[in-house]
Amino acid sequence: MGVTDAGRGISPLGGRSALRRHGAALCFFLLALALRLYLGDSFGTHYPFLLFLFAVIASSGYGGLLPGLQTTVLSILAAAWLGEVIGAGATLPLDPRFGPRVLSFAALSLVISLFIDRLLRANERLRASSIALEESNARLKRSEEELKLANARLQQSETELTQANSLLTNSNDELETFAYAVSHDLQAPLRTVGTLCEVLAETNRGRLDAETDQLLNHIGNGVRRMSRLVSDLLDYSRATRFDPRRGPATDGNSVLHAVLRDHQAAIAEGGARIVATPLPALRINPRRFNQLLTNLIENALKYRSSAPPEVNIDNHVDGDRWILSVQDNGIGFDQQYAEKIFRPFERLHSTLEYEGSGIGLAIVKRIVDQEGGQVWAESEPGQGSTFFLSLPRTSLDPEPQKVPEPVSPVGAQ
């Protein structure tokens, strides 16, 4: 039975058919028989199976086990027949030594046939393995070539992406620089217009009619709103200029105290009460953290309800995140607008109700995004709002810090 080799249909023993192998074995036997007849009785008496043993070896070597056994059986029959034909008459088959010689020849032939058959089959398996190895090497070589091509395409794509990122970065830098310059340059003419309106109103007080006074007042309000908008644009432009390098640790409590001092007048005017748990040391630029806290606290103070504002600032570590929350008792908002309020210039109220440009929370989101964090808000109308900041724990200073004192309540007691 032949064993296929790697799907090629190659059987053992070189793929030779059974007819061809047995035919070759018969030829080897007939050749041995012819030589035996040629050499005569004197050779056969001393070496009756020698030539046939060579035929068995040749048959096994060409065709395997079965052709070898075939030659063995034919050789035994031929030896018995030759004992009657050549010189010894009927005595050779009856020779006491004939039986042991037959058994020895049969056993030796069987061992030789089995051994050669195993060698042939092992050789065929080795040959099949070599072919499979060559095919595997060929496939591996093709895979390596394909991988090289894929790597070349990937490197080309990375190069193109790097170039595109470089162009985009340069374009963004130019755009930010342009916005910064334009916003900064707009302040001068706005101040000039505002100053001229104030001078005009002051020098002509009582000499202008009510309609002209109202127009001057509208102009002054528009100039102030425009100035505030330009100032907010400057802040937003500065927020986009992010340096990823970590500086020294920033004492969060010192920054919070500075923000509360800057807003002491507004806190006292509104009768607000602000309470905060101790903040850790942070590896965040202090100016950016100041801007972040300023916008959140101003938002809480601005959108107040009829009750005095109450602001609670809390923080804790949750796994690999640091969470900061700012909760107020203000007017709140519908939760469907929780994402809209973080977009630039998006407002839920008109400027007649609440002043501002709608850029403060957008700056908060920009800063938090650049620090690798998230910001979100939870609120209900009339129930106040809570703003959450989630920053990577790597933003905390890993060095042990002295435990700060809690921030005392600020404002009305």
Judge whether residue 180 has pLDDT over 70. Answer: no
Place of tokens 């942070």: 282
Indicate the average pLDDT of the chain.
77
Question: What is the structure's pLDDT at 83?
Answer: 63
Distance CA 16, CA 352 (A): 102
Distance CA 280, CA 256 (A): 11
Judge whether residue 90 has pLDDT over 50. Answer: no
pLDDT tens figures, 199-251: 777 777 777 777 777 777 778 777 777 777 776 666 666 666 655 555 567 78
pLDDT tens figures, 103-140: 777 788 888 888 888 888 888 888 888 888 999 999 99
Where do the domains of the chain lie?
A: 1-185, 247-411
223 or 331, greater pLDDT: 331
- Please count the other Cβ atoms lying within 10 Å of the Cβ belonging to residue 116: 21
Q: How far is CA 409 from the centre of its chain?
A: 47
Lowest mean pLDDT among 238-247, 325-334, 397-406: 397-406
CA torsion, points 158, 163, 168, 173, in degrees to nearest 10? 130
Question: What is the structure's pLDDT at 325?
Answer: 92
Question: What is the structure's pLDDT at 217?
Answer: 77
Question: What is the structure's pLDDT at 88?
Answer: 44
Place of tokens 């010189």: 87
Mean pLDDT of 171-188: 69
Judge whether residue 160 has pLDDT over 50. Answer: yes
pLDDT band at 179; cut points 50, 70, 90 = low
pLDDT tens figures, 5-35: 444 444 445 667 888 888 888 888 888 888 8
Architecture of the 247-411 domain: 2-Layer Sandwich (3.30)
Question: What is the structure's pLDDT at 406?
Answer: 42
Question: What is the structure's pLDDT at 243?
Answer: 54
> At residue 387, what are phi and psi to the nearest 5 degrees?
-105, 130
Question: What is the structure's pLDDT at 313?
Answer: 92
Judge whether residue 405 has pLDDT over 50. Answer: no
User: Of the candidates 298, 301, 296, which has an alpha carbon nearest to the alpha carbon of residue 313?
Assistant: 296
Judge whether residue 87 has pLDDT over 50. Answer: no
User: Of the candidates 375, 379, 349, 378, which has an alpha carbon nearest to the alpha carbon of residue 364?
Assistant: 375
pLDDT tens figures, 250-299: 788 889 999 999 888 888 888 889 999 998 888 888 888 888 899 899 88
183 or 177, greater pLDDT: 177
Mean pLDDT of 315-323: 88
Mean pLDDT of 38-59: 74
Tokens of 300: 């809480």
Distance CA 116, CA 63 (A): 10
Mean pLDDT of 326-332: 90
Distance CA 280, CA 176 (A): 32
Question: What is the structure's pLDDT at 387?
Answer: 92
User: Do 141 and 135 contact (CB within 8 A), yes or no?
Assistant: no
Question: What is the structure's pLDDT at 386?
Answer: 93
pLDDT tens figures, 58-76: 888 888 888 888 888 888 8
Tokens of 264: 């002491």
24 or 404, greater pLDDT: 24
Lowest mean pLDDT among 17-26, 168-177, 324-333, 402-411: 402-411
pLDDT band at 388; cut points 50, 70, 90 = very high
Tokens of 225: 């709103």
Q: Is 302 helix (H, G, I), strand (E, B) or coil?
A: helix
- Helical pair 210-240 and 286-302, crossing angle rounded to 10 deg: 140
